[in-house]
Amino acid sequence: MTTVLPVRRPGAASALSPAEDKRSTAGARAARARQIAGRTAPWLVRGVMGAAVLVFALLAVGPHVLGYRTMTMLTASMAPEIEPGDITVATPIDLTDVTEGMVITYHMPVDDGSLVTHRVVSVEHAPDGSVLVQTKGDANAEIDPWTARLQGDTAYEVRAVVPELGHLVTALRTPVLNQVLLYGAPVLLAGWLLMTIWRPARATTPAVDTDDETKEDQA
């Protein structure tokens, strides 16, 4: 049995597979990254602006237009229903509608009279039309050591809780972020408007008349 082996010509070199052009690959990746960034940036700016508008509407416009009140919870006395840093939204109700079990926001009748949000545990209607309430924080072991007199025509019952938003509001009140918002918000708005106005038009591929090409081939 005879085996035939291929013989390489003298001086012949082995064929090598073409090397990958790393520069072209890197350029393609960079172009792809720029394309993604170009598509993402407008939506990012819109998201930031939209969130800022919603927060502004909730905290600044809504209380004046719809009459509700917002307050940032500073303590854990109402945990886990209301955690520190959450924002409560309280709406006005008739004073005579205050009942046990409600979570209300009112001024403490002690110290500096600051606002507190606690649950009503007892209600008493006084002859002068005012309402006397005792309250307690859900996480507290004891009832609050005072009896609050609710006067006027309305009280404020907590209707909704916005988690964690109070941390953002507190951060926005710092001097550094105030300066950033003062100068950064107009820049973001201007950039968004410019991107909207100067957005490049998409290139369109001209239509091909297939009938003409068929006629030319047949001719």
Q: What is the CATH number of the domain that holds 150?
A: 2.10.109.10
Sorted by sequence, the CB contacts under 8 Å of residue 78 that are 6+ apart come out as 103, 117, 118, 119, 137, 138, 139
Is residue 43 in some structural domain? Answer: yes
148 domain-assigned: yes
Whether the per-residue pLDDT at 217 is higher than 50: the answer is no
Judge whether 21 lies within some domain. no
Q: Do 170 and 158 share a domain, yes or no?
A: no
Beta strand 87-94 with 154-162 is antiparallel
Which region, left, alpha or beta, applies to residue 194 given φ > 0 means left and ψ of -120 to 50 means alpha? alpha
Mean pLDDT of the chain: 78
Residue 173 lies in a domain: yes
Whole-structure pTM value: 0.59
Q: Which of 153, 116, 110 is nearest to 135 (CA)?
A: 116
Domain coverage including residue 150: 69-162
Please indicate, yes or no, whether residues 79 and 113 belong to a single structural domain of this protein: yes
Query: Do residues 76 and 62 both lie within one domain?
Result: no
Contact predicate 92/104, CB 8 Å? no
> What are 162's two structure tokens?
């916005």
Are residue 121 and residue 45 in the same domain, yes or no? no
50-57: average pLDDT: 73
Residues 59 and 76 in one domain: no
DSSP letter at 11 equals: T
Q: Which of 162, 211, 175 is nearest to 62 (CA)?
A: 162
pLDDT at 161 (0 to 100): 95
120 with 176, same domain: the answer is no
Task: Answer yes or no: is pLDDT of 87 > 60.
Answer: yes
